[in-house]
Amino acid sequence: MTFSMRASRTNIVLSLSCCLMVSAAAPSTLAAPAAKKKAPAKAAAKSAKKPVSGANDHIKLLDDGTRDMIKESFSQAEAKFKKALAQAEAAKNTNHQLESLVWLSASLEKQSRLDEALALRQKALELAKKTFGADSSEYALQLAGMSSFYTKKGNNAQAWNYIEQANATLGKAGGSAKHPITGAYCAIATARIQNLEGSKGLADQSYKKSLDLLQAAMKENAPLVILISKEYLPVLEAIEKTDEAKSLKDKISLAEAAGTTGSANTAADTAPKIQTKLSGKEFAKIVGEAKQNMIDKDFDSALAKWQKALAMAEKEGSQKKLAYVYFKMGDTYSLKDEKEKREALYKKSALLREKMKETETLGMARVLTRLANYEITNKNTDEAKRLLTKALEIETKQKASDGMIENTLRSLASACMMGKDFGKGEEVCRKLIVLAEKDTSPVAETKKAMSTSMLAGLMMQSGRTQEGLSMMQSMNGKLTPESTKAYSNAVAAQFAAVENEVDASEEKSMGIAG
pLDDT surpasses 90 at 170: yes
Q: How far is CA 85 from the centre of its chain?
A: 31
Say if domain 9-36+52-205 classifies as CATH 1.25.40.10: yes
Separation CA 204–CA 182 (nearest Å):
18
CB atoms within 10 A of CB 239: 14
Residues in the chain: 514
**SS3 label, residue 259:** coil
* Closest by CA position to 189, among listed 174, 206, 201: 206
Angstrom distances, CA of residue 140 to CA of 9, 146, 182, 443, 510 = 18, 10, 7, 72, 49
pLDDT surpasses 60 at 202: yes
* Mean pLDDT computed over 265-272: 37
Separation CA 253–CA 250 (nearest Å):
5
The mean-pLDDT minimum among 7-11, 478-482, 489-493 falls in 7-11
- Given this model, what pLDDT does residue 4 score? 34
**SS3 label, residue 325:** helix
Bridge partners for 218 per DSSP: 267
- Given this model, what pLDDT does residue 105 score? 85
The CA radius of gyration of the chain, in Å to the nearest whole number, is 28
- Given this model, what pLDDT does residue 54 score? 60
Compute φ and ψ for 218, nearest 5 degrees.
Answer: -135, 165
Query: Over the stretch 179-198, which tens digit does the pLDDT of each residue have?
Result: 998 999 899 999 999 999 99
Contacts of the segment 479-488: beta carbons below 8 A, 24+ positions apart: 479/446, 479/449, 479/450, 479/453, 483/443, 483/445, 483/446, 483/449, 484/446, 486/442, 486/443, 486/446, 487/443, 487/446, 487/447, 487/450
Compute φ and ψ for 443, nearest 5 degrees.
Answer: -100, 15
Burial readout 97-122 (b: 16 or more C-beta within 10 A, e: otherwise): bbbbbbbbbbbbbbeeebeebbebbe
pLDDT surpasses 60 at 6: no
Sequence-separated (6 or more) residues with CB below 8 Å from residue 449: 475, 478, 479, 483
**What H or E segment, with its residue span, contains residue 377?**
helix 362-377
Sequence-separated (6 or more) residues with CB below 8 Å from residue 7: 32, 33, 34, 181, 217, 267
Query: Over the stretch 69-87, which tens digit does the pLDDT of each residue have?
Result: 767 889 998 999 999 999 9
* Mean pLDDT computed over 332-347: 90
Separation CA 81–CA 107 (nearest Å):
8
Sequence-separated (6 or more) residues with CB below 8 Å from residue 143: 125, 162, 163, 165, 166, 169
- Given this model, what pLDDT does residue 88 score? 92
**SS3 label, residue 218:** strand
* Closest by CA position to 40, among listed 136, 175, 125: 136
- Given this model, what pLDDT does residue 152 score? 84
Crossing angle of helices 422-438 and 402-418, in 10° steps, is 150
Burial readout 397-426 (b: 16 or more C-beta within 10 A, e: otherwise): eeebebbbbbbbbbbbbbbbbebebbebbb
Name the CATH topology of 280-510: 1.25.40
Contact 337, 359 (CB under 8 A): no
- Given this model, what pLDDT does residue 225 score? 82
pLDDT band at 514 (very low <50, low <70, confident <90, very high): low
pTM listed for this prediction: 0.67
The mean-pLDDT minimum among 92-101, 278-287, 336-345, 459-468 falls in 278-287
Sequence-separated (6 or more) residues with CB below 8 Å from residue 306: 290, 325, 328, 329, 332
Separation CA 491–CA 488 (nearest Å):
5
Most confident of 32-41, 65-74, 436-445: 436-445
- 420 phi-psi bin (left φ>0, alpha ψ -120 to 50, beta other): left
Crossing angle of helices 200-217 and 223-238, in 10° steps, is 160
Name the average pLDDT for the chain. 83
Number of helices and strands in the chain (H, E): 24, 0
- Given this model, what pLDDT does residue 195 score? 94
pLDDT band at 408 (very low <50, low <70, confident <90, very high): very high
- Given this model, what pLDDT does residue 315 score? 87
pLDDT surpasses 90 at 331: yes
* Mean pLDDT computed over 300-307: 93
- Given this model, what pLDDT does residue 513 score? 65
pLDDT surpasses 80 at 20: no
- Given this model, what pLDDT does residue 474 score? 86
pLDDT surpasses 50 at 1: no
pLDDT band at 221 (very low <50, low <70, confident <90, very high): confident
- Given this model, what pLDDT does residue 373 score? 93
Sequence-separated (6 or more) residues with CB below 8 Å from residue 365: 390, 391, 392, 394, 395, 398, 400, 404, 408, 502
Compute φ and ψ for 267, nearest 5 degrees.
Answer: -65, 155
> Which ranges in the chain are annotated with CATH 1.25.40.10?
9-36+52-205, 280-510
Separation CA 214–CA 472 (nearest Å):
61
* Mean pLDDT computed over 155-178: 95
* Residue % of the chain over a pLDDT of 90: 60
- Given this model, what pLDDT does residue 273 score? 37
Sequence-separated (6 or more) residues with CB below 8 Å from residue 362: 394, 395, 398, 400, 404, 501, 502, 505, 506
Bridge partners for 267 per DSSP: 218
